[in-house]
Structure 1
Amino acid sequence: MTGVRSTCPYCGVGCGVIATPDGKGSVQIKGDPDHPANRGRLCVKGAALGETLSTGGRLLSPTIRGQEATWNSALDEVAARFSQTIAAHGPDSVALYVSGQLLTEDYYVANKLMKGFIGSANIDTNSRLCMASSVAGHRRAFGSDTVPGQYEDLELADLVVLVGSNLAWCHPVLHQRLMAAKAARPALKIVVIDPRRTATCEGADLHLALAPGADAHLFNLLLCHLADQGQMSADFLAHVSGLEATLAAARSATAAETGLAAADLAAFLALWAGTERVVTVYSQGVNQSDSGTDKVNAILNCHLATGRIGRSGMGPFSVTGQPNAMGGREVGGLANMLACHLDLENPIHRDAVQSFWSSPTMADKPGLKAVDMFRAVEDGRIKALWILHTNPAVTMPDADRVARAIAGCDFVVVSDIWPTTDTARLAHVLLPTAGWGEKDGTVTNSERMISRQRAFAAPPGQARADWWQLAQVAQRMGFAGFDWDGPSALFDEYAALSGVAGGLGSDFDISVLVGADYATLAPTMWPQARKRGGRFFGDGRFHTPDGRARMVPVTARLPEVTPAAQPFRLNTGRVRDQWHTMTRTGTVPRLSQHLGEPYLEVHPTDAARLGLAPASLAEVSNDLGRSVLRVMISDRVQPGHPFAPMHWTGETAPTGRIDALVPGRTDPVSGQPASKSAAVAIRPFAARWYGFALSRKDLRPTCDYWAKGPVAGGVQLELAGQEEPEDWAAWGATLFGLPAPSAMVSDPAQGLHRMAFVEQGRLIAALFISRTPVLLSRAHLASALGGTDTAVLAGRPAADRPDPGPTVCACLNVGLNTILRAMSSDGLMTVDAIGAAIGAGTNCGSCRPELAALVARHSHREAAE
């Protein structure tokens, strides 16, 4: 089979890929050189897509209460239970919780069903957790949820400011484009505004380690500086209202509140004010706040005041976290929106959509946003819930409470590709869904580029597309207008509705694509009605009633002071090589070798005060829940502000579910949770023993702490406990479900126990126990699993096989020790020299910031010596 052009299912960059099946079950993945988003580049996650396509463990047939069922019986059950619930309790007693993992066509059907036929707007999306504040800020300022610019603006700018965005890890290909532009044009300046010193800072000219939560203070100070220095644009301000009130509100901000050194603050203000072509990129560090919308508007105010918007190389730019967060916005995926960027609360818009759909009813008020939706599930107002392609029992704030709410709901449907997610385990009905590579549709990336996802493999078992599942239930509920014969017909209907929206003044109009050849549809940027692609607002025309933009007065405020009992402010986020709750990336061994365990990054002064040692465990807790995390001591975080990643689940590390600690506090305008700010207490986890295990078969230990990751041919586990078993050999045999170990070395006085389990001359399991964190060559041990070299109890390779150390370059499996040896022995003092010698950083480039940091530290040590 020839290569199939599709789109990566991870972040909002929307990279094009070419998938080429080999006819033997494997698929080669490479970047599409013709796709405008990535031009052939891929990050390590995208490059590893072919390694995630195994159907082992997939949900292959519908189930009802744990029993295998036919599609007819499952769909009848869903339709009957939803219909009965609506009849007894009204349309607001049911809800859909959907996902940026859905294709636009899936999203469209879900919103048509809920808002136009069931008659409730109780449909929200996990995109509420990542970009709702940006949506709300856009709508307040522009009158529409419009991203003004394009990716190429980052390359055309003279200054790129990254606010609350670890672009190098969270949007790697976009970061690679930016760094390539800087290499070609060194005059391009990059400023990173982030309380943490992230990988993105390695390529920056200036890092502003802002006081956590002080984003609006900084941009209010910038607005005042622009006014005081005469840097505002009188011509553009003729198209803008609200300047005086906005400037008056901004005057209340003080430099002290930013936590920045006076020289750094002055340098930033002068650089921004003195640069015409400036792009301000912002992401979750801005959005995931209980004042996120105000932070967005503080940024937008500065661009509106100077007219630096909608022209080449300038403008505010929200980068989304999911592959189709933008497509979800286009179809009205949020509970307070209507399809095609129309207004749910505008009767003219509602009537137009209802007429187009020929629907019996139309929701006339916003539905429940995500946090409120699950509270309504908890208190019984929502009695039937359908969750599609997302894992809220892990990812929602106050996750334990959400899991209990789902478990207590009268009727829960989950559509997913896996039956064992934390959320899927709570479902009454499970529906098997086609995954990436098995379904057809479109997605829209952060720059408004619509791209096709195309199937190159048949769905396994009875898995079916999400749009089909929704349409079948709609028909069984007695609704007409859900009888499409495929996603092409769906796309045509949706595009035709956008023409109606365009006639009402909406920015979103792709009606010229009605009847286009869906099979060959090339990446296409909207708007289409006026011209092919392009930027918005450079002409001073906005989508407000009077056509003028609105500057929004922002009274900046810092997060509440943490209580004495919970004095730390926990920040959460992502790691480089994992995606969401790891249901896909967590199956690939090389993606788990970089940072393979849930961890707490804590400042050295905090670690010393708390008595936390490197690689020990910390217990992190508050009134909501408790997590146990591996300690990473680092000055990249500020004192009092530790960081923990959000990827681990009850399936991979039960005590690593970090969103169990995040309160359900939301922004009052957008409803987006403040996921990056939780007051917590931290103390050492009193482990009596630590362990490391390898096994050919999957395991689910019963000890106090465990974290699991894939290795070739099996799994590896980090373990710890607060009580020691009397017989370690028996404990190990029970852990693996095997007879007594084949070989064992013990020193009870030191608490050291090592055992190997061998069958037919091959290593099938091994266990290493210590009273302190286990120091071993994990890469060496993982390579021995399933092999005939069973002399593993030493825990390290022989002298003639150097230990590569922890993985830095996941593409080429280059370890830290290998890099350090090359630097020391060969004098490699640039990232390019390291790449030329040992390959690290030469494939996807995601590790280049870490290589740069290693070079800097090595150079600093040599200078000091």
Structure 2
Amino acid sequence: MRPALPDAERAIRTTCPYCGVGCGVLARGADQPVAGDPAHPANRGRLCSKGAALTETLGLLGRLLHPHVDGQRSSWDAALDLVASEFSRAVAEHGPDSVAFYVSGQLLTEDYYVANKLMKGYIGSANIDTNSRLCMASSVAGHKRAFGTDTVPGLYDDLEQADLVVLTGSNAAWCHPVLFQRLAAARAARPDMRVINIDPRRTASSDLADLHLSIRPDGDAALYNLLLAEIAARGAVDADYLAAHVDGFDAAVTAARATDPAETGLSPEEIARFCDMWIGAERVVTLYSQGVNQSSCGSDKVNGIVNCHLATGRIGRPGMGPFSLTGQPNAMGGREVGGLANMLACHLDIEDPAHRDAVQGAWNSPVICQTPGLKAVDLFDACADGRIKALWIISTNPAVSMPDAGRVAEAIARVPFTVISDIVSDTDTARLCRVQLPAAGWGEKSGTVTNSERCISRQRAFLPVPGEARADWRILAQVGARMGWADAFGWTSEAAVFREFAALSGLAEAFGRDFDISGLADLSDAAYDALKPVHWPVPRAGRTPPTTAGRFFGAGGFYHPGGRARMLPITPPQVQLAAADWPFRLNTGRVRDHWHTMTRTGRSARLSGHIAEPYAEIHPDDAAMIGVADAELVGLETETGRAVLRVLISDRAQRGTVFVPMHWTAETAPSGRVNRAVRAAVDPVSGQPALKGSAARLRRWTPAWYGFAASRAEMRAGPLPYWAGARSDTGMRAELAGALRPDSPEAWEAEARRVLNLDDGAASVLSDPARGSVSVAIVEHGTLAGLFWAGPAPVAVARAHVCALIGTDTAPARALAGRPGTDQPDPGPLVCSCFGIGANQIRTAVADGAVSVEAVGACTQAGTNCGSCRPEIKGLIAAAQTPKMAAE
């Protein structure tokens, strides 16, 4: 049953800390369920599985609660004095460009603003970059090249009003599920609406599409060039709009006409149908995400998309326009405060002396950065070669998330002085840093965030701050004060920080720029606390916003000199044939229920139930070629690193490609840290890494034994070559594989105890020498404390069932059967995280006559909340019906 939800009148209205959709949340406390805020314009009451499980991700397990220096607990004063003195010393001895900040799209806008003011306006360097560089820098670059500034033209409402929505390089069903459900609902309400999905993989998002185009990786620029050429050939241009508002049409079309259709990997019929659908639908929205941005030609892909919208005038009006879906909750807020190394606050330009002088004057700062700073990949290269003497990492884990992550970890370790501000104490990155500062987390701090449609929302605290943790803006301000600038960093509240930022945005308006929230600069503390979601621009009274119905560019008004947009000639990359030594293209991304490096979602047993370990998704033909079967292990290797992964064979994968999710760390699956195998190639314009473009090879990896374990205790990998651990409702579960096979039941018991982290209790060992399998149960004080299975093949036990036995008085012999009895139905692998519904429960509902997703939902509740499991439910229905149809 759905848990009781908070009363909207008594709940705290806050914002989800996950993707850039920016959903409103109703929350009441750590032990109370959360709900979507029906009054929030982004989600209208919906939450995805991650958002619905927010309170399950809270708690003090693993929290960093006190400052530490050199591994020892420290006072705040001593730690902050050390940080300030070391950064000051590095600047004095080596210059301002010898220090750097690496920050995060999970910071609140106020945190981001203070970090940028300190680095760019007081230290005097632009060496502050962000993990948002990894997700949307190519969108920023494409916007600036086309529009003159980083402007998102449209609104989420355009999804409901479009005749055609194109999802390009976006698995929104898993990565932006609430927005995807808005799209699905719009299509259900308007059957004439059409959806196209462009992605090398068939994903959950493809199930909504009328047309799925399995494009060659990085073929997007070629496809949009072909579309532009066809727009020109058919006379589908908006000549009046072009004449009034756009430059560069002829050059862009000339380049487009030179494009070889073979570069898309699509058939002529597929290309023709795409062009017919796009040109034939007046109201077109193109939603794009990491499949476009995370590429060595990502900026060109963005401009290829924008070119088509500009050529047809399909921009800035209801139901039409290019739309970037940002990956992080406050990637947009970071862009607004100048969070990237090549930007100033309020969409002003570092390269423009007038902009620099204006910002320096507003800040009354002693210096201002003169040139763009080091972008993420270059920043860590500078750490490696000794140029960076002091580094501060805030709310991110680059030793896992950066490309060539192993080299990044080595680079961080080489920096003479390192600081990290984070909520957890033991991450791949935190272990490398000399100073660890405890930060307040979601639900504990207050500020604002901006979502993908330019909507500013309040994130409000509803939990006490644990231990000695502090808000990030306050930590940064206290360091700024200790560096000698107490007056400039003397805010007493996040509201005061916001007011200063909002006032600064008036400069942007004065320079004729888009970002203006100066109408919020005089908010009282009470008005700031009560601030409702608002889309920018929000100019001061008497100023006219440069938008029509909240959208930019429907009537022109671009931000290049002369007020005209620019279409760019795009030359797509030539098709790169796979080399014999590296026959696979590695594609990395997310799974449905996890987020980044799982410091939050990894705490939830429910969110770990759907996908509990890293995997390599490959096509059946490729699996046959390398001789692997489903659930076996495969070794993935590139020029930069290696990983060992579970095999998932799927005809949704494109031949010659391998998809691997990026969430796992040294704490959760040491051999599954895939970004160690991603080369650090970048887009030359945006500096965004090509996280989906590494050449790889796959080889069957055959261990001496496979295993599965469930324990009430914390488990760790130890010497095992393969280990993937996850939370369960009763403790932990882990997938295992060993390189050496114990040679006796006693040795197996010792191995089981080591893995289960259980030294005490009575052990029951069942061994089957003929099959080469063994199972072990540990009983403490009359209840099961741990269960362990091992054998020569992947272990076939009902994982949810056996995890539930931990802590019960089930007899060891019955538990070691690994399957429920007839009196204990097995729910099967988790499908619906919102309500904990397994595949077997859905199959039972289908067998009982529920032959639609809606009918399954009526029987089980599966798919009735966030909807991200609906494609999987549809697949189970289809699989159940196929044998019946064959029999008929």
Q: Which bin holds the TM-score, normalised by the shorter protein?
A: over 0.9
1:741 positional shift: 4.6
Aligned pair partner of 1:484 in 491, 513, 517 = 491
- Is 1:527 the equivalent of 2:537? yes
Corresponding residue to 1:252 among 258, 261, 264: 258
Looking at structure 2, the residues matched to 741 and 98 of structure 1 have their Cα atoms a distance apart, in angstroms, of 49
Number of residue equivalences = 861
Q: What CA deviation, in whole Å up to 9, does each residue of 1:269-294 have, x standing for no partner?
A: 01101111000010000000000000
Counterparts of 1:668 and 1:799, CA distance in 2: 61
Equivalent in the alignment of 1:122: 127
- Mark the CA change 1:263 to 1:827 in structure 2 (over 3 Å): closer, same or farther: farther
Q: Distance in 1 between matches of 2:180 and 2:11?
A: 27
Render the CA deviation track for 1:567-613: whole Å, top value 9, x for unaligned.
Answer: 11011110000000010001100111111110000100000010111
- Asked whether the 8 Å contact 1:202–1:853 carries over to 2, the reply is no
Contact (CA 8 Å) 1:729, 1:741: kept in 2 or not? Answer: no
The question of whether the paired residues in 2 share the 8 Å contact of 1:17 and 1:32 is answered with yes
Matched, 1:766 2:787: yes
The unaligned stretches of length 5 or more in structure 1 are: none
1:54 positional shift: 1.0
Cα distance, 1:558 vs structure 2: 4.1
Q: Aligned with 1:642: secondary structure?
A: strand
Distance 1:451 1:555, change over 3 A: same
* TM-score normalised by length of structure 1: 0.98
| Number of the residue aligned with 1:606 | 622
Aligned partners of 1:131 and 1:284 also within 8 Å: yes
Maintained 8 Å contact 1:741/1:755: no
Q: CA deviation at 1:380?
A: 0.4
Question: Does 2:17 correspond to 1:9?
Answer: yes
Q: Which residue of 2 aligns with 1:506?
A: 513
Report 1:183-332 matches (<5 A).
Answer: 183-238=188-243, 239-332=245-338
Give the secondary-structure state (helix, strand or coil) at the position aligned to 2:418.
strand
Q: What is the identity, as a one-letter code, of the residue corresponding to 2:696? A: V
> Structure 1 CA distance, aligned partners of 2:391 and 2:520?
34
Report the CA distance between 1:800 and its aligned residue: 2.3
Equivalent of 2:646 in 630, 641, 662: 630
Q: Relative to 1, partners in 2 of residues 1:560 and 1:264: Cα closer, same or farther, differing over 3 Å?
A: closer
Residue aligned with 1:27, SS: coil
1:118 CA drift (Å): 0.3
1:495 and 1:509 in contact (8 A); partners too: yes
Structure 2 contact 263–575 (Cα < 8 Å) conserved: no
CA 733–856 in structure 1, closer or farther in 2 if over 3 Å, else same = closer
> C-alpha separation between the residues in 1 aligned to 2:157 and 2:877?
30
Distance 2:731 2:268 in 1: 54
Q: Which residue of structure 1 aligns with residue 765 of structure 2?
A: 744
Report matched runs for 1:172-183 at 5 Å. 172-183=177-188
What SS class does the counterpart of residue 85 from structure 1 fall into? Answer: helix
SS in 1 for 2:709: strand
State how 1:389-788 maps to structure 2 within 5 Å: 389-479=395-485, 480-516=487-523, 517-529=527-539, 530-531=544-545, 534-558=550-574, 560-701=576-717, 702-726=719-743, 727-735=747-755, 736-739=757-760, 741-788=762-809
Q: Which of 350, 364, 370 is equivalent to 2:370?
A: 364
Give the drift of 1:811: 1.2
The AA in structure 2 aligned to 1:864 is: A
Partner Cα separation in structure 1 for residue 761 and residue 606 of structure 2: 31
Q: 3-state DSSP class of the match of 2:33? A: strand
Q: Is the 8 A contact 2:169 2:289 kept in 1?
A: yes
Task: Pick from 854, 859, 862 the counterpart of residue 884 of structure 2.
Answer: 862
CA distance in 2, matches of 1:290, 1:583: 29
CA distance in 1, matches of 2:473, 2:518: 21
- Is contact 1:729-1:740 (8 Å) kept? no
Provide the aligned C-alpha RMSD in A.
1.2
For 1:143, the equivalent position in structure 2 comes to 148
TM-score (norm 2): 0.96
Q: Counterpart in 2 of 1:812?
A: 835
Aligned to 2:820: 797
CA apart distance, 1:731: 1.6
Residues 671-715 of structure 1: CA deviation (Å, up to 9, x unaligned): 000001111110011211001011111111221100000001310
State the secondary structure of the residue aligned to 2:512.
Answer: coil
Distance 2:522 2:838 in 1: 52
- For residues 185 and 499 of structure 2, the distance between their equivalents in structure 1, rounded to whole angstroms, comes to 38
Q: SS at the partner of 1:86?
A: helix
For 1:730 and 1:374, locate their aligned partners in 2 and report how far apart those are by CA, in whole Å: 43
Q: Give the 5 Å matches for 1:68-87.
A: 68-87=73-92
Residue by residue over 1:701-747, the C-alpha shift from the partner in whole angstroms, topping out at 9 and shown as x without a partner, is 22110000000131000000121123111222233241475211011
Which residue identity is paired with 2:865?
N
Cα deviation, 1:28-70, whole Å, max 9, x if unaligned, reads 2000000000000000100000111112221000000100000
Aligned-partner Cα distance in 2 for 1:197–1:282: 16
Unaligned stretches of 5+ residues in structure 2: 1-5
Tell me if the contact between 1:733 and 1:740 (Cα under 8 Å) persists in the aligned partners: no
Give 1:495's aligned amino acid. Answer: A
CA–CA distance in structure 1, aligned partners of residues 421 and 754 of structure 2: 35
Pick closer, same or farther for the CA change 1:740–1:734 going to 2, 3 Å: farther
Greater displacement, 341-350 / 242-251: 242-251
Asked if structure 1 preserves the Cα contact closer than 8 Å seen for 2:730 and 2:804, the reply is: no
Q: Do the aligned partners of 2:338 and 2:346 also contact (CA within 8 Å) in 1?
A: yes
Counterpart selection for 1:843 from 846, 851, 865: 865
Letter in 1 for 2:830: T
Q: Do the aligned residues in 1 keep the contact of 2:628 with 2:700 (CA within 8 Å)?
A: yes
- The structural deviation recorded for 1:498 is 0.2
- 1:860 & 1:324 partners in 2: Cα distance? 44
Q: 2:58 aligns with which of 53, 58, 74?
A: 53
Q: 1:733·1:741 contact (CA, 8 Å) conserved in 2?
A: no
Tell which deviates more after alignment, 406-415 or 346-355: 406-415
The one-letter amino acid paired with 2:280 is G
Which amino acid is the alignment partner of residue 730 of structure 1? A
2:373 pairs with 1:351: no
Structure 1 Cα separation of the partners of residues 575 and 172 of structure 2: 24
Which letter does structure 2 place at the counterpart of 1:421?
Answer: T
Shift of 1:254: 2.2
- Equivalent residues of 1:765, 1:785 under 8 A apart: yes
Distance 1:860 1:450 in 2: 48
- Equivalent of residue 381 in structure 1, options 381, 387, 391: 387
Q: Which one-letter code corresponds to 1:506 in the other structure?
A: R
How many percent of aligned residue pairs carry the same amino acid? 60
Q: For residue 187 of structure 1, give the secondary structure of its aligned residue in structure 2.
A: coil
Alpha-carbon distance in 2 for matches of 1:142, 1:741: 70
Q: Deviations over 1:320-378 (max 9, x none)?
A: 00000000000000000000000110000000000000000000100000000000000
> Is the contact between residue 345 and residue 366 of structure 1 (CA under 8 Å) also seen in structure 2?
yes
Q: Which moved more, 1:124-133 or 1:676-685?
A: 676-685
Structure 1 Cα separation of the partners of residues 864 and 408 of structure 2: 43
2:855 aligns with 833
